[in-house]
Amino acid sequence: MTGDLDVADGRIGEAELEELRAATRDFLTAKADEAAVRAAAASDRGYDEKVWAQMAEQLGLQALALPAEHGGDGAGMTALSVVLGELGRVLLPAPFFSSVVLAGTALAAAGDADAARRLLPGIAAGTTLAALAAPGRDGGWDLDGADARGGLAVAAEPGQCGVTLDGSAPLVVDGAGADVVLVVAAGPAGPTLCAVDGTAVGLTRTSLPTLDLTRRVARLDFWSTPATVVGEPGGAAGVLRRVLDVATAALAAEQVGGARACLDAATAYAKDRVQFGRPIGTFQAVKHKCADMFTRIQVADAAAREAAAALDGAAGAPDPGVAAAVAHVVCSEAFMAVAAENIQVHGGIGFTWEHPAHLYFRRAKSSQLLFGGPAVYHERLLARAGM
């Protein structure tokens, strides 16, 4: 029979995906235990530069899904999802999501060969860090959706060579440490993707206190900051739509990884913790909580996989925009619920600063809200489904 949905449409096989998962997990087990994650998150730059470099040199993770013609391996979303699941499992603080997923996808989608040639090989090698600013004045991402009402945060005016930017981007993931920042600015021709050097004159970057301790966010203020246009002037809406689909699908895989770590911790604790003379996992109140967590994760995992397969153009897969929006809703809510229940299964110990449960709770809520949160993602799903 033909027409079966092959993983990544034949780009990378099931066995290779398993190898990729094992290699990534082994690497992270060695380099990113809880102490290392906490130390990296608390460091000046917010991540471990050595580990970041090794990720690129030893495993080639940054290059994995980027276009082959610009230094990547073109392995597709299903492969990328495997990596993100592992990164999410340990909450690795690293500019992977910001540089590779957000900025990398924007550059690949912008159709600007020069900009791609200039920036993508460095991003793929991990030597260039790029960021993509949330375009909305309120931190929102949809240009055509519910949160477009806030308008664009940054305006682009024609300048001496390229454009100059003015405005404030309130939420830029890993924006403070990026070598290059991509901004969707309001230009004369409409929303326009622009690239700004991290050290450009007239750019002020302020690292912000964050809910999620393992992911940095900065505010960027632009005062007649010189920038170059990437892709067609006025053509950023389509780029952004693609970025949203890819980024929410990628985030979904990361969320499933985080949720699995929570369930693993909760079940291990329920087997070990004794109260009333028996492991608390023998009580149905606890047992059913764990079963509920498992059920949510199974469904979320299926949604994340389907979204990745759809974005890879796999045969028989649903519409990629719909599948990504479904995954974003289901995985956001599953991770949040599971992160909260993990603390409940642990009881008092789960509420301490020393216990890692809160790191997952923080990541869960932060990633649920990053692209607009429930009010926005429900409407985005209906819009993608044509309603």
Partner 1 sequence: MPSDTDSFVEEARAFLDTHATRRTGGGQAVQWGVGDDQVAYFSADPPDVDAARVAEAKAWQKVRHDNGFGWITGPAEFGGRGLTSVHDLAYDALEAEYDVPDTSVLSLIGLGMIGPTILTHAQEHIRRRYLPAMYAGDIIACQLFSEPGAGSDLASVRTSAVRDGDEWVLSGQKVWTSVAQHAAVGLALCRTDPDKPKHRGITAFLVDMAAPGVEIRPLRQMSGGADFNEVFLTDVRVPDDHRLGDVDGGWAVALTTLMNERASVGGEGAAGPAGRAVSLPFLAELLRANGRLDDAAARRELAGLYAEVAATDYLNHQSLRRARAGEQPGPEASVSKLMYARNLTRGAHFAAEVVGPRLVADTGEWGTFAWAELLLATPALRILGGTEEIMKNILAERVLGLPKEPGIDTKSPFRELRRSGRGES
Figure out which of the listed residues 45, 294, 355, 358 binds partner 1, where binding follows CB under 8 A.
Answer: 294
How many residues of this chain interact with partner 1, rule: CB under 8 A? Answer: 45
Stretch binding partner 1 (CB under 8 A), from 155-163, 200-208, 275-283, 354-362: 275-283
Specify the stretch interacting with partner 1 by CB under 8 A; choose among 36-44, 48-56, 279-287, 352-360.
Answer: 279-287
- Nearest approach in angstroms of CB 268 to partner 1 is 10
User: In angstroms, how far is the first alpha carbon of the chain from the final one?
Assistant: 35
> What does the angle CA 153 – CA 155 – CA 158 come to, to the nearest 5 degrees?
165
Q: How far apart are CA 194 and CA 169, in angstroms?
A: 13
Q: Which two tokens stand for residue 345?
A: 């299964």
Task: Report in angstroms how near the CB of residue 83 gets to partner 1 at its nearest.
Answer: 20
Residue 171 in contact with partner 1, rule: CB under 8 A: no
Q: Does 50 bind partner 1 (CB under 8 A)?
A: no
| Structural contact between residues 131 and 181, judged by C-beta atoms closer than 8 angstroms | yes
Candidate segments 15-23, 47-55, 115-123, 262-270, binder of partner 1 by CB under 8 A: 262-270
* 299 touches partner 1 (CB under 8 A): yes
Stretch of 66-74, 189-197, 201-209, 270-278 contacting partner 1, by CB under 8 A: 270-278
Tell me if 66 sits within 8 A of 74, measured CB to CB: yes
The SS3 call for residue 193 is: strand
Where does residue 259 rank: exposed (0-12), middle (13-18), buried (19+ CB within 10 A)?
A: buried
Q: In this chain, which stretch among 188-196, 214-222, 243-251, 266-274 interacts with partner 1, using CB under 8 A? A: 266-274
Nearer to partner 1, 103 or 369 (CB): 369
Selection from 243, 174, 240, 244 nearest residue 212 by Cα? 174
Instruction: Supply the minimum distance, in Å, between the C-beta of residue 342 and partner 1.
Output: 13
Pairwise CA distance, residues 328 & 131, whole Å? 21
Q: Which C-beta is closer to partner 1: that of 165 or that of 327?
A: 327
Annotate 228-285 with DSSP letters as a single string.
Answer: EE-SSTT-HHHHHHHHHHHHHHHHHHHHHHHHHHHHHHHHHHHHH-EETTEEGGGSHH
State yes or no: residue 329 binds partner 1 (CB under 8 A). Answer: yes
Q: Which of 115, 330, 338, 369 binds partner 1 (CB under 8 A)?
A: 330
Exactly one of 74, 159, 318, 373 binds partner 1 (CB under 8 A); that residue is 318
Q: Does 295 help bind partner 1 (rule: CB under 8 A)?
A: yes
- The b-or-e profile of 14-26 (16+ CB within 10 A means b, else e) is eeebeebeebbee
Position 290 contacts partner 1 (CB under 8 A): yes
Query: Is residue 16 near partner 1 by the rule CB under 8 A?
Result: no
Instruction: Please give the backbone phi and psi of residue 15, each rounded to the nearest 5 degrees, phi first.
Output: -65, -40
Instruction: Find the binder of partner 1 among 224, 298, 344, 352 (CB under 8 A).
Output: 298
199 binds partner 1 (CB under 8 A): no
342 binds partner 1 (CB under 8 A): no
3-class SS at 146? helix
d(CA 236, CA 184): 7
User: Judged by CB under 8 A, does residue 327 bind partner 1?
Assistant: yes
Q: Which two tokens stand for residue 257?
A: 């990884």
List of residues contacting partner 1 (CB under 8 A): 1-2, 4-5, 263, 267, 270-271, 278-279, 281-284, 286-288, 290-292, 294-295, 298-300, 302-303, 305-306, 318, 322-323, 325-327, 329-330, 374-375, 378-379, 381-382, 385, 387
